[in-house]
Amino acid sequence: MIKVFVMKQPSDSKVSAFIESLNSSSISNRVQFIDLPSEDEPTTSFDFFSFIESKKPRLKDVLSKLTLVESSSNTSRVAAVVLDMFCTPMIDVANEFVIPTYIYYTSGANFLGLIFHIQTLHDEHNQDIVAYKDLDTELVVPSFVNKVPAKGETNETQEPQNGFDVMKWLDDQPLSSVVFLCFGSMGSFEKDQVKEIVL
C-alpha cells in the first residue's frame, strides 16, 4: 500500500474534499492519502520552509504509528519515504526510524545532470564555478548531447542574451500598459480570478 502524505495550506479548502474523493475511490486499496495538519496554523504571512518544518512532528507521529503496527502484526513494513525536492527537512524524520529516503526531482534529468556536474566541478576538481562567467568556453556535461556554453549556465546573475531587446520593448510600451505577473510554483487561481487577471 502506498501512502501519500499531503501537506495543504490552511486556506486551501478544496484539497480536503479531493483527498476524500480519492480515498473513497477504487484506488483506495492501493493508494491512501493522508492529510498532515499542522499543530499551529500560521496566523501571519505564509513561509514555505516554516510550513514544511511544522509538518515534521505530524509525519513523526504517523511513522511512529505505522512502525508500531508493523511490529505487532504481519503487515508489510515501511520500505521507503519518497520526498519532493522541497521537503528535504523530512529526511531527518525518516532517519529517526531508519527508513531510507529518496528525492523525487521534478525537473528534467538533463538539468539535474547539469547541476550535479557543476557541483562535481566545484567539490571534486576545486574549480571556481563563478570564474566561468567570463570565459567563452563550453562544458562537456554527461547529461547533454551537445556541449553547454559555460557563460550563463554557471552565473545566475547574468542577464539573458536578449535582455536588452526585452528592455527596449518594455520601454517602447505605453505607460502602465504592461503587467508583470509571477505566481511561483505554488500559484493557483480560481476561474474568476484568471478571467480578472486577463481582462
* Other CB atoms within 10 A of residue 157 CB: 6
Q: What is the mean pLDDT of the chain?
A: 77
Residues carrying CATH 3.40.50.2000, the chain: 2-104
Does the pLDDT at position 167 exceed 60? Answer: yes
Instruction: Assign 155 a pLDDT band (cuts: 50, 70, 90).
Output: very low
pLDDT of residue 74: 64
Does the pLDDT at position 184 exceed 80? Answer: no
pLDDT of residue 101: 92
Question: What is the per-residue pLDDT across 18-45, written as a single tens digit (0 to 9) for each?
Answer: 888 888 888 777 888 888 876 555 556 6
Residue from 63, 68, 71, 72 nearest 100 by CA: 63
pLDDT of residue 93: 93
Q: 96 or 134: which carries more pLDDT confidence?
A: 96
Instruction: List active site positions.
Output: 84
Question: What is the per-residue pLDDT across 74-94, written as a single tens digit (0 to 9) for each?
Answer: 666 788 889 888 888 999 999
Fold of 2-104: Rossmann fold (3.40.50)
